């Protein structure tokens, strides 16, 4: 261990640690290996196609194709609790767009995140950052004056779809005095972008995002499509998801996870939530790889679950 610490210190160009610092350096050099991280990244990048996921993708495909061609606006509300795959659906859609002369590479569809207390400047800055503009920062007044630049940039880049995550925050402004006929300055900006730039708009957020249909009729009328993603029930669909993960994982044997009883326990451990499932599978790969195993087993799954949920989780480790 002493030699390992000396190698670590030398590689980081640090001073030789005293005895009290030995434990800190030991923790750093006993983290997961680079090879383990690479294997886990491959699992992190797996996308699972299931009916609701595919419906959301196909809806974005239609909006992407039609919005720039028609004067009639096109858009969608994609709702569901955290971790069910709303953002993953957009990333999959964006990453699988074919190259085209109609839009700049990487700019055919852009994603933004709505802050808790949204202002017009947030979205102007967000769009400029998405296009890698060097002056995406500034005062609220400076950013507001750049809204015309944003419209020009959207047209120039050929963007055809904007995905707005955490969009339920748009409704928080309606509790202030900035609401006129159900519309805020932010939703007015979004509506103008949709209308003037002929861009499809996808709002993603929790199930209460549906309330926007009643609170902001002008914006909602441009978002005719409604799709939802939900956690999986412990049924054949869940088994199908597990088998799909097993089939797509090329770097490690994770077949153990799709066995009937284990799959049921995995559902209990993750509540059928895809994000929670993927986090646990990533940890399994990291633990197993550095243990020089060739396949996931029960002890690996037990250890990985403990690492993911911690010691104080109210449900405890279902595999222990």
Q: 85-120 pLDDT, tens per residue? A: 999 999 999 999 988 767 777 899 999 999 888 888
3-state secondary structure string, 90-107? HHHHHHCCCCCCCCCCCC
Question: What pLDDT score does 70 carry?
Answer: 94
Helix (H/G/I), strand (E/B), else coil: 228: strand
Residue percentage of the chain with pLDDT more than 70: 83
* CB-based burial, 225-244: b 16+ in 10 Å, e otherwise: bebbbebbeeeeebbebbeb
Question: What pLDDT score does 10 carry?
Answer: 47
Cα–Cα dist 136/271, whole Å? 40
Cα–Cα dist 91/82, whole Å? 15
Question: What pLDDT score does 182 carry?
Answer: 56
Interacting residues of 205 by C-beta distance below 8 A, sequence separation 6+ = 79, 86, 114, 165, 166, 167, 168, 169
Q: What average pLDDT is seen over the chain? A: 84
C-alpha angle with apex 230: 281 to 257, nearest 5 degrees? 25
Cα–Cα dist 54/117, whole Å? 32
Question: What pLDDT score does 144 carry?
Answer: 61
Q: Is the pLDDT of residue 259 over 80?
A: yes
Going by pLDDT thresholds of 50, 70 and 90, the confidence category of residue 145 is low
Question: What pLDDT score does 22 carry?
Answer: 55
Q: Is the pLDDT of residue 7 over 80?
A: no
For 153-239, strand residue ranges (E) read 161-165, 200-205, 225-228
Interacting residues of 298 by C-beta distance below 8 A, sequence separation 6+ = 256, 262, 319
Cα–Cα dist 303/284, whole Å? 8
Q: What's the rounded mean pLDDT across residues 271-289? A: 94
């Amino acid at each position: 261990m002493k030699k390992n610490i000396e190698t670590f210190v030398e590689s980081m160009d640090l001073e030789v640690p005293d005895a009290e610092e030995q434990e800190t350096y030991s923790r750093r050099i006993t983290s997961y290996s680079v090879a383990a991280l690479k294997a886990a990244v491959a699992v992190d990048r797996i996308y699972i196609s299931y009916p609701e996921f595919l419906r959301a993708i196909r809806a974005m495909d239609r909006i992407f194709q039609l919005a720039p061609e028609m004067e009639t606006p096109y858009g969608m509300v994609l709702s569901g609790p955290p971790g069910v795959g709303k953002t993953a659906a957009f990333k999959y859609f964006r990453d699988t767009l074919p190259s085209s002369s109609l839009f700049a590479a990487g700019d055919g569809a852009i994603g933004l995140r709505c802050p808790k207390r949204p202002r017009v400047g947030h979205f102007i800055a967000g769009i400029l950052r998405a296009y890698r503009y060097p002056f995406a920062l500034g005062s609220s007044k400076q950013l507001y004056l750049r809204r015309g630049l944003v419209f020009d940039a959207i047209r120039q880049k050929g963007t055809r779809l904007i995905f707005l995550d955490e969009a339920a925050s748009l409704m928080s402004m309606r509790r202030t005095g900035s609401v006129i006929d159900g519309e805020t300055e932010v939703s007015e900006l979004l509506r103008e972008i949709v209308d003037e730039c002929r861009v499809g708009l996808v709002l993603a957020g929790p199930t209460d995002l549906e309330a926007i249909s009643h609170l902001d009729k002008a914006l909602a009328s441009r978002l005719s499509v409604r799709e939802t993603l939900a956690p999986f029930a412990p049924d054949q669909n869940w088994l199908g998801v597990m088998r799909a993960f097993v089939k797509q994982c090329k770097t490690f044997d994770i077949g153990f996870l799709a066995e009937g009883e284990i799959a049921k326990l995995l559902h209990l451990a993750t509540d059928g939530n895809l994000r929670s499932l993927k986090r646990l599978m990533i940890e399994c790969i990291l633990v197993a790889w550095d243990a020089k195993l060739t396949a996931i087993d029960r002890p690996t799954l037990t250890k990985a679950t403990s690492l993911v949920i911690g010691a104080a989780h109210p449900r405890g480790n279902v595999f222990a």
